[in-house]
Amino acid sequence: MTNNPIEETVAVKQAHVLSPEEQAALEPTVRFTNERVEQAGIACVEIGQHLLVKFFNGDIIEVRKRSPHKLLSLPRLAEHPNLNMSFAGVSQSIALAVQDVQLATAGAPQQLTVTNKVLLLRVVELQAKKKYIGKLQKNKLSSRTFRELLVKEG
Comparing CA positions, the residue from 144, 146, 42 lying closest to residue 93 is 42
CA distance 141 to 7: 7
Q: pLDDT, tens digit, for every residue of 41-68?
A: 899 999 999 999 998 889 888 888 877 6
The pLDDT score that the predictor gives to residue 52 is 93
Cβ–Cβ contacts within 10 Å for residue 146, how many? 22
Q: Above 60 in pLDDT, residue 1?
A: no
CA distance 4 to 16: 20
Domain boundaries, the chain: 18-105, 107-154
- 15 against 39, higher pLDDT: 39
Q: Above 60 in pLDDT, residue 12?
A: no
Q: pLDDT, tens digit, for every residue of 112-143?
A: 888 999 999 999 999 999 999 989 889 999 88
Question: pLDDT class for 6, splitting at 50, 70, 90?
Answer: low
pTM for this model (two decimals): 0.75
Alpha helix segments (H runs only) across the chain: 5-13, 20-56, 60-64, 74-78, 87-105, 114-120, 126-138, 143-153
The pLDDT score that the predictor gives to residue 3 is 58
Q: pLDDT, tens digit, for every residue of 60-103?
A: 888 888 776 666 778 888 899 999 999 999 999 999 999 999 98
Question: pLDDT class for 13, splitting at 50, 70, 90?
Answer: low
Q: 47, 85 in Cβ contact below 8 A?
A: yes
CA distance 138 to 149: 14
How does DSSP assign 110-123, residue by residue? Answer: ----HHHHHHHTT-
Total count of residues recorded for the chain: 154
The pLDDT score that the predictor gives to residue 120 is 93
What's at 86, amino acid-wise?
A: S
